[in-house]
């Protein structure tokens, strides 16, 4: 399915979001500019940082020694200057990028003395601020009316730095008063991933949050479609890098795509879809490298959704097994476990129980802070006072996404009949009719996905 096949009606607003690889360098930015200009309905453009920049900024925020810091700063400068050097008029944008680079240097020196999540967000936000400044310049050199807009003016969030939650009511109000009037003058270029809390400090929505920004703005503006432009032409039956024979899905339900995103498919950010689902806004996913290749439309209804839709893989999973004889016929044990986890800001992903054991997984992907610090010694000490705790790492989660899985006959045989060569650490099935999940050793994860894909999709 191509973007033009699902083009919006006249005068409707389309939000176009471009990921890091789509704004990685001068050529990539120009290809993305072509995509924007090919559709007059694209009024708002949301950008990620240029590929590689966010990782360098996150590293700087962790507090690096002077020598390594200088190397990282030089790499950031080199990536952005490779774009500036190809612009015909450079002076204004060069000055602005230099100001940003100075700010990054100052903040990274501060991080070397003491790190904090608030400082990390302030530092990391510079990636999106720089890419949008450069993209506006690229459009202006084509005589396109384009305005740079600081999304922090409207993206109000709480102060949970690293994974802030937007205030949708405030965002809606501010978008209509500050952003909407600008759309009559030309295209607006703004940042994904970043926002600001009540005191005006910069926050981030978690890694991959640029998609979420696009969907939130789409909802606030009553957009007719949200286009997510990335480096793959759509959503596939599994990651084509793991299974080269994976097939593209032309249309997929919101529920299926949300399950895929939640369980590790990199194409969409899990929270992206919430505003789109609420407001019934279709989401198109395509490749900025090859817009003509078509893509996937995520929507509320599709014809005959299949039993098995896709496989998703999520690495770096941590399994906690809690053992206590006090659980036997007792009340309140799980409530106590969950309240301890809640106090430490940890959400449980999958859970299975027996008479005296509870096994649960913690997903360590998603926020700008690293996963390793989820299991603090304070948390383990508190849990240990309640029960015996075992921690297992180097596990991966494989999720089979589908429709009415829990009502269908023979699913267990079809799935587990081909899993003889592998050990399975935990199975979750029945809570949702859209997924069947299991944990396997990370060393086996790719072979498990390849085996299942061959059996179920080829």
Domains assigned to the chain: 14-230 (3.40.1160.10)
Please tell me the distance from the alpha carbon of residue 384 to that of residue 277, in angstroms, as a whole number: 41
With b for 16 or more beta-carbon neighbours within 10 A and e for fewer, the 224-238 pattern comes to bbbbbbbbbbbbbbb
How confident is the model at residue 3, as a pLDDT? 62
How confident is the model at residue 372, as a pLDDT? 52
CA–CA distance from 337 to each of 326, 329, 381 (Å)? 13, 16, 12
Q: What is the mean pLDDT of residues 107-125?
A: 96
For residue 302, name the pLDDT band (cuts at 50, 70, 90).
Answer: confident
C-alpha neighbours within 13 Å on the C-beta side of residue 134: 34
- Residue 270 sits at the vertex; the CA angle it makes with 269 and 271, to the nearest 5 degrees, is 95
Segment (H or E) for 149 = strand 146-149
Find all residues with CB under 8 Å of 37, minimum gap 6, and list them.
142, 144
Please tell me the distance from the alpha carbon of residue 343 to that of residue 24, in angstroms, as a whole number: 40
Helix (H, G, I), strand (E, B) or coil at 452: helix
How confident is the model at residue 207, as a pLDDT? 67
Answer for the pair 285, 339: CB distance below 8 angstroms, yes or no: no
How confident is the model at residue 364, as a pLDDT? 58
Please tell me the distance from the alpha carbon of residue 396 to that of residue 425, in angstroms, as a whole number: 10
How confident is the model at residue 326, as a pLDDT? 78
Q: What is the mean pLDDT of residues 34-52?
A: 96
CA-wise closest residue to 363 among 321, 422, 320: 320
- Residue 45 sits at the vertex; the CA angle it makes with 43 and 49, to the nearest 5 degrees, is 170
- Residue ranges of the annotated binding site are 17-20, 54, 128, 230-231, 236, 241, 266-267
Q: What is the mean pLDDT of residues 188-213?
A: 93
136: alpha, beta or left? (left if phi > 0; alpha if psi -120 to 50): alpha
In sequence order, which ranges of 142-268 are alpha helices (DSSP H)? 168-174, 209-221, 254-262
Q: What is the mean pLDDT of residues 171-175?
A: 97
- Residue ranges of the annotated binding site for ATP are 17-20, 230-231, 236, 241, 266-267
Please tell me the distance from the alpha carbon of residue 57 to that of residue 101, in angstroms, as a whole number: 11
In sequence order, which ranges of 201-293 are alpha helices (DSSP H)? 209-221, 254-262, 273-278
How confident is the model at residue 87, as a pLDDT? 94
For residue 365, name the pLDDT band (cuts at 50, 70, 90).
Answer: low
Q: What is the mean pLDDT of residues 51-79?
A: 96
- Residue ranges of the annotated binding site for substrate are 54, 128
How confident is the model at residue 2, as a pLDDT? 63
* 36-50, 266-280, 300-314, range with greatest mean pLDDT: 36-50
Kindly tell me if the per-residue pLDDT of 371 is higher than 50: no
CA-wise closest residue to 426 among 279, 319, 336, 331: 319
pTM for the model: 0.82
For residue 452, name the pLDDT band (cuts at 50, 70, 90).
Answer: very high
Answer for the pair 353, 425: CB distance below 8 angstroms, yes or no: no
For residue 369, name the pLDDT band (cuts at 50, 70, 90).
Answer: very low
CA-wise closest residue to 168 among 212, 208, 200: 212
pLDDT digits 0-9 by tens, 176-194: 999 999 999 999 999 999 9
Please tell me the distance from the alpha carbon of residue 83 to that of residue 134, in angstroms, as a whole number: 8
For residue 363, name the pLDDT band (cuts at 50, 70, 90).
Answer: low
Kindly tell me if the per-residue pLDDT of 439 is higher than 70: yes
């Amino acid at each position: 399915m191509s973007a033009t096949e699902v083009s919006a009606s006249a005068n409707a607003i389309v939000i176009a979001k471009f990921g890091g690889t789509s704004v990685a360098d001068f050529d990539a930015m120009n290809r993305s500019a072509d995509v924007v200009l090919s559709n007059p309905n694209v009024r708002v453009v949301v950008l990620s940082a240029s590929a590689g920049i966010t990782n360098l900024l996150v590293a700087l925020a962790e507090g690096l020694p002077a020598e390594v810091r200088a190397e990282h700063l030089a790499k950031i400068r080199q990536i952005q200057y490779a774009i500036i050097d190809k612009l015909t008029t450079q002076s204004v944008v060069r000055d602005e990028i230099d100001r940003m680079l100075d700010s990054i240097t100052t903040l990274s020196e501060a991080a070397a003395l003491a790190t904090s999540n608030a400082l990390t967000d302030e530092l990391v936000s510079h990636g999106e601020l720089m890419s949008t400044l450069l993209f506006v310049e690229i459009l202006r050199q084509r005589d396109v009316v384009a305005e740079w807009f600081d999304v922090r003016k409207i993206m109000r969030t709480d102060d949970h730095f690293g994974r802030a939650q937007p205030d949708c009511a405030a965002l809606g109000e501010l978008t209509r008063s500050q952003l909407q009037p600008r759309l009559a003058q030309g295209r607006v270029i703004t940042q994904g991933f970043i926002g600001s809390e009540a005191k005006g400090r910069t926050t981030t929505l978690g890694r991959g949050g640029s998609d979420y920004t696009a969907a939130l703005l789409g909802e606030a503006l009553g957009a007719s479609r949200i286009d997510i432009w990335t480096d793959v032409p759509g959503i596939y039956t599994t990651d084509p890098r793991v299974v080269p024979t994976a097939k593209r899905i032309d249309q997929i339900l919101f529920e299926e795509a949300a399950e895929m995103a939640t369980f590790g498919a990199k194409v969409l950010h899990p929270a992206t879809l919430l505003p789109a689902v609420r407001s019934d806004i279709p989401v198109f996913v395509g490749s900025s490298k090859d817009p003509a290749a078509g893509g996937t439309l995520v929507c509320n209804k599709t014809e005959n959704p299949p039993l098995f839709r896709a496989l998703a893989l999520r690495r770096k999973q941590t399994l906690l097994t809690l053992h206590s004889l006090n659980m036997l016929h007792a009340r309140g044990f799980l409530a106590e476990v969950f309240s301890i986890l809640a106090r430490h800001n940890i959400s449980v992903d999958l859970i299975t129980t027996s008479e005296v054991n509870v096994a649960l997984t913690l997903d360590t992907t998603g926020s700008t802070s690293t996963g390793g610090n989820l299991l603090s010694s304070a948390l383990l000490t508190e849990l240990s006072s309640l029960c015996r705790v075992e921690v297992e790492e180097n596990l991966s989660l494989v999720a089979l996404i589908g429709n009415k899985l829990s009502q269908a006959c023979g699913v267990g045989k079809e799935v587990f009949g081909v899993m003889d060569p592998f050990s399975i650490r935990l199975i979750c099935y029945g809570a949702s009719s859209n997924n069947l999940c299991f944990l396997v050793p990370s060393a086996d994860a790719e072979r498990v996905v390849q085996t299942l894909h061959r059996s179920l999709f080829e």
